[in-house]
Structure 1
Amino acid sequence: MTSATDPLASCRVLVVEDDYFLATDMRREFEASGPEVLGPVPRVEEALALIAATPRIDGAVLDVNLQEEMVYPVADALQARGVPFVFATGYEKTVIPDRYAGVKHCEKPLEAAQVAKALFA
């Protein structure tokens, strides 16, 4: 249970994940620890539309490969807005383009607490 002074309690976290079970588990775990979850969304174009329509996003969790499409346009949109994000993926960090060298990387399988720590620490 979170308190009103818990910084995560007022956060809005975008989850971009195409695996239904992982997305559902991540949403449930995040919501249990306080943040409002935007999504989850399974496709790049849906994520971009949600970003454009949402004035405040405090952080995001991005799967790298969404239905055979790479998530990098979403990462670029978040970077342009100054929104911190982490890659949550089964890919090794070496596969991610150098322009994202400073972005934290969480390997699957993962837990929302691990991702939240990487995102907000």
Structure 2
Amino acid sequence: METDLSKKLRFEPRHYSVLVLEDEPLIAIDLEHMLRQLGFTTITLVGTVERALATIDAYDLAILDVSLRNGTSAPVAEALRSKGAPFIVSTGYIDTGPIPSALKVQPFLRKPFSIEDLALSLNQLSLP
């Protein structure tokens, strides 16, 4: 089912599965809601690097929070890059601290963000 918001994307979102690595539950749920509004139907939320790495092969793209409770999402970014999967980096700390090099070249989604910001970031990805 196409929504008006799904028209903001240059691709058909229902054909892509999304892995979200976010350790703040309210942010994760809000992000999932935005992705569903954009037309994505297969979305998985995980809160740790270990859970993300355990399921990484099942997804077409990912959204990674930079700063997690026990480190950063850099290991997941490296694994995604090695498999050729696109990802977006989400952070509220662009200006306040060093970003791991594995996370520097991807589109950034600066927190707090709107659904329009999310759509713009998703449109920057190279999707098959």
State TM-score, norm by structure 2.
0.79
Give the CA RMSD over aligned residues: 2.2
Q: Which runs of 5+ in 2 are unaligned?
A: none
| Aligned-pair CA distance for 1:108 | 0.5
Contact 1:64 1:72 in 2 (8 A): yes
Deviations 1:66-116 (A, max 9, x none): 213211000011101111111111111662234444211111001344223
- Report the CA distance between 1:11 and its aligned residue: 1.6
Question: In the alignment, what sits opposite 1:102?
Answer: 105
In structure 2, the residue matched to 1:32 is 37
Alignment size in residue pairs = 117
Distance 1:99 1:30 in 2: 24
Percent identity at matched positions? 33
Counterpart of 1:2 in structure 2 is 2
Correspondence for 2:18? 13
Structure 2: how far apart are the matches of 1:102 and 1:44?
A: 19
Q: In the TM superposition, what are the counterparts of 1:1-121 in structure 2 within 5 Å?
A: 2=2, 7-52=12-57, 54=58, 57-92=59-94, 95-121=98-124
Change in Cα spacing, 1:9 to 1:101, as seen in structure 2 (3 Å) is same
* 1:37 to 1:88, Cα distance in 2 relative to 1, 3 A: farther
TM-aligned CA distance change 1:99 to 1:24, over 3 Å: closer
Residue by residue over 1:53-74, the C-alpha shift from the partner in whole angstroms, topping out at 9 and shown as x without a partner, is: x1xx222110011213211000
Q: Whole-Å Cα distance in 2 between the matches of residues 91 and 13 of structure 1?
A: 23
Q: 1:18 to 1:99 in 2, by over 3 A?
A: closer
Q: Is the 8 A contact 2:88 2:107 kept in 1?
A: yes
Q: Does structure 2 conserve the Cα–Cα contact (< 8 Å) formed by 1:30 and 1:113?
A: no
Structure 1: give runs of 5+ residues left out of the alignment: none
What is the TM-score normalised by the length of structure 1? 0.83
